[in-house]
């Protein structure tokens, strides 16, 4: 499956006009950085980024980030893309948008899994700080933080298109049958794949893209153990988080949920397809 078509056109001229009208003191050189599934991202000058939804479905996610990232940043030690300014519809553009800090670094997805081990300790610390009870008005997300059984149909559909499904289906059936999370809904990043982790030097420079932000089962985020790491670093990561055996196994199940999505829907993104292949191999290891 390819990246869906944009529902509104975002180009350099539009972004310049929006900044000039709403935040003229921040005008500066613009460089297109990403035109992804949900958002367009520009670098603004040396120190800022501009993030604009390209589809209606992402507009509410931007609003969630604007509301909650300032709160969550106070609970973690890792830099987050807390909005510096917020933008509103204008110039024919229909949705909210954000100006946030620019973080220097390299996406972990661009680094081989063997080179990500330096993220294990700080990522565990980030999740420990983040995973605290979410308030009743936390964003709702039907595909993150929910019982694994709620994702059964879609995972089976994806597995039917993945060559190695014969070995993965029995694993998924076992994991999906695990008891669901019984504790309070905890704050979740919701999408902890290596494309959303920025490496600076040998450590974690920032955690990006909180579009899936929600409350629910912390196993959703702990899936990073298989999404990001190899066996050795996974054990280091596990030693830094609070997860009983059932939660850890549900996290393996969430890795399968996300890994099948990446494997099935990244035909036009070789980097994310490689992450999907990595995950589907890692979840089969002891």
Q: Which two tokens stand for residue 43?
A: 């670098």
Total residue length of the chain: 286
- Check whether 164 has a pLDDT greater than 80: no
Q: Phi and psi of 223, rounded to 5°? A: -55, -20
d(CA 53, CA 51): 7
pLDDT in tens, 1-43: 456 677 888 999 999 999 999 999 999 999 999 887 789 999 9
The pTM for the full model equals: 0.94
Work out the angle at residue 19's Cα, subtended by the Cα atoms of residues 16 and 25, and round it to the nearest 5 degrees.
Answer: 120
d(CA 233, CA 47): 32
At 266, the pLDDT band (50, 70, 90 cuts) reads confident
Residues 254 and 220 sit within 8 Å (Cβ to Cβ): yes
**124 SS3 class:** helix
pLDDT value at residue 28: 97
Q: What is the mean pLDDT of residues 115-138?
A: 97
**43 SS3 class:** strand
Most distant pair of Cα atoms in the chain: their distance: 57
d(CA 161, CA 138): 34
Q: What is the mean pLDDT of residues 111-134?
A: 97
Half-sphere exposure of 93 (CA within 13 A, CB side): 29
Residues 174 and 167 sit within 8 Å (Cβ to Cβ): no
Buried b (16+ CB within 10 A) or exposed e, 134-152: beeebbebebbbbbbeebe
């Amino acid at each position: 499956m390819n990246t869906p078509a944009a529902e509104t056109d975002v180009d350099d001229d539009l972004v310049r006009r929006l900044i000039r009208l709403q935040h003229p003191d921040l005008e500066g050189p613009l460089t297109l950085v990403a035109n992804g599934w949900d958002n367009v991202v520009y670098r603004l000058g040396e120190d800022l980024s501009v993030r604009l939804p390209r589809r209606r479905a992402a507009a509410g996610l931007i609003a969630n980030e604007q509301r909650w990232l300032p709160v969550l940043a106070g609970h973690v030690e890792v830099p987050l893309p807390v909005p510096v300014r917020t933008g509103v519809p204008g110039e024919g553009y229909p949705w909210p948008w954000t100006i946030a800090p620019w973080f220097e670094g390299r996406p972990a997805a661009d680094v081989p899994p063997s080179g990500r081990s330096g993220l294990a300790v700080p990522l565990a610390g980030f999740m420990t700080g983040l995973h605290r009870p979410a308030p009743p008005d936390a964003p709702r997300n039907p595909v993150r933080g929910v019982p694994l059984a709620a994702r059964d149909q879609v995972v089976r559909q994806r597995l039917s298109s993945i060559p190695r499904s014969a070995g993965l289906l029995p694993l998924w059936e076992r994991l999906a049958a695990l008891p669901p999370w019984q504790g309070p809904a905890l704050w979740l990043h919701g999408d902890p794949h290596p494309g959303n982790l920025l490496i600076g030097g040998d450590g974690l420079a920032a955690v990006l893209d909180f579009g899936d932000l929600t409350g629910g089962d912390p196993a959703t985020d702990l899936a990073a153990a298989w999404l990001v790491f190899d066996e050795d670093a996974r054990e280091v990561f596990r030693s830094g988080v609070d997860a009983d055996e059932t939660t850890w196994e549900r996290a393996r199940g969430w890795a399968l949920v996300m890994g099948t999505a990446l494997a099935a829907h990244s035909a036009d993104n070789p980097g994310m397809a490689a992450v999907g292949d990595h995950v589907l191999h890692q979840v089969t290891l002891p």
